[in-house]
Amino acid sequence: MRTLLAAAALAAAMPLAAHAADYTQLQTARSKVGFSFTQMGVTLDGHFERFDGELRFDPAAPESARAVVEVELASIRTGMPDADAEVAGRSWFNIGEFPRARFESSSVKALGGERFEVSGLYRFGDFYHATGQLISPWSWRADGSQVGRDMLAYRSPDFTTWSKAKARSFIRPGQAANPPVKGQQMHMGAGLWNRGNVIVGLHGMWQDAAQPPPKGASWNLGVRIDLGLLVSNDGVHFREPVPGHAVIPRGRDGEWDDIAILQGHAFVNEGDRTLIWYSHWDTGGRLKDMHIGLATLRRDGFGHLSRQVSEEEAHFITSTFEASAIALNVDGITAGAPLTLQLLDHLDRPLEGMTASLDQNGVRVPVTWPRPLPAGKKTALRVHYPANSAARVYAVYVTRGVGS
């Protein structure tokens, strides 16, 4: 339990002006002495309820700043009464002999630069990519206002030299709106699954609390997070197939995962199922539980394409690919309403004699063509639904070369 006070931070409420200002008494009602600690691999927040101090700060000359803060150690609040009692003893604070702690600054520096929190690392195409959230400073909108948490990406050709330029990988629609949706952000980048020619993943759909937390409570008390789906075809820019849709919502009130859930890089296909691991975060800092959740889907069943308008035919066309074999993940096909598949060239023109019919369901149903697929040529697939079809296509699989 020696990681309890791994990091400490002081947040003091004070007006920022272009001239020096003296503060003979810290505004404790508008300030907070908080810290973070790690318990079973999860970072949690705590605070001290009683403290006072003095500050002197000039934003134009931060090197002249001075801070003195005294903290009443018995007022520690970790969110766990047993931990509060433990740290008061001789092995930690020993508050019987040392009831107060004094912090006095020796120097203050403007650090500058950026603080980037990496959440994804993968190779896609010719580059390695690192995605995550920029935690200082935030990103900006065109008008200069801050967007809060979004996902950015850096890239490297050799995993050694990384570009200093970055790309905005994803921002939730409400963050970019004018005016923005209050309290909407994305959390911790995304947990990603590289599928070869496409990347799928989950991102945290952060929503601020409706009301500010009461004095002494965790700063993010009331924050709620669901998990949304992201897709990328270039490894840099991501999109939500259905904006704002929670593919894994947090639990109902009273369930173990009812506050905020966190994505991981933990996906696997096992048989006819896709398994996704995720965890729970108590944003109130009370360490409600440490469970891991397991979500199960139909294999690669993140979404599907199907007809919508009654008594109307429908079709979709894929992007181009090179393949020696094609298979579909599909259900809902009936004997009287098979799917018709047609191979197209790179300009969406049908290739003569390359039409097939699919009348079976399954997570990987191979397509039987009249002759071998053209080698070394870019082609696309057109999938046609008859007017009475209830078919749902979840994925199209292409095999590149023999044995691949």
The predicted pLDDT at position 6 comes to: 28
Specify the amino acid at residue 80.
M
How confident is the model over 16-45, as pLDDT tens digits?
333 334 444 567 776 778 777 666 555 667
Task: Reply yes or no on whether the pLDDT at 225 is more than 70.
Answer: yes
The predicted pLDDT at position 32 comes to: 78
Q: If you average pLDDT over residues 142-170, what whole number do you get?
A: 90
Q: Which of these, 111, 121, 179, 106, lies nearest to 145 by C-alpha position?
A: 179
Mean pLDDT of the chain: 84
The predicted pLDDT at position 403 comes to: 45
Query: For the residues of 129-174, what is the DSSP string, one character each?
Result: EEEEEEEESPEE-TTS-EEES-EEEEEESSSSS--S--EEEE--HH
Q: Which two tokens stand for residue 197?
A: 């020619």
How confident is the model over 316-344, as pLDDT tens digits?
999 999 999 999 999 999 999 999 999 99
Task: Reply yes or no on whether the pLDDT at 209 is more than 90.
Answer: yes
277 vs 78, more confident: 277
Q: How far is CA 81 from CA 49, 245, 321, in A?
A: 14, 38, 59
